[in-house]
Copies of this chain bind each other. A is one copy, B any other.
């Protein structure tokens, strides 16, 4: 049976990642590992490792993106929690069998990783991402 391994990251919606990283980097002392343009999500992501997890600052690069809509609707703040799983297809199948509503019933694929989101309607209002290293 598929197993959750750890919190992979916490995704935080920010308007401007340079301004936002001032708190995480300069005040809390976390280090920026790298910044990545995630074209498929129309966003720029800044990765700050913390223990075995990461804080990810997600800035929209296009007004027509889910993260831009989140910022308009709710303002900056925690956007999602991402859980690393050892078998994402197996976990998605289990969730569907249990009647859990999925945003992605088939994982999105990027080099080295597969991801899928679970709908907040089935989680108690939390946007949960599943993530498998491949």
Chain A residues proximal to chain B, CB less than 8 Å = 1-7, 10, 12-14, 19-20, 23, 26-30, 50-53, 75-78, 81, 83-84, 91, 94-95, 98, 100, 120, 122-126
Residues of chain B within 8 A of A6, CB atoms compared? 50-53
Residues of chain B within 8 A of A100, CB atoms compared? 23, 27
A110 to chain B, nearest CB (A): 22
Q: Which residue on chain B has the smallest CB distance to residue A30?
A: B4
List of 7 A-B pairs having minimum Cβ-Cβ separation, nearest first: A6-B51, A77-B125, A76-B125, A20-B124, A78-B78, A7-B53, A76-B124
Residues of chain B within 8 A of A29, CB atoms compared? 1-4, 94
A82 to chain B, nearest CB (A): 11
Given A6-B52, A75-B125, A78-B78, 7 additional A-B pairs, CB 8 A: A4-B30, A5-B51, A12-B124, A20-B124, A27-B100, A52-B52, A76-B125
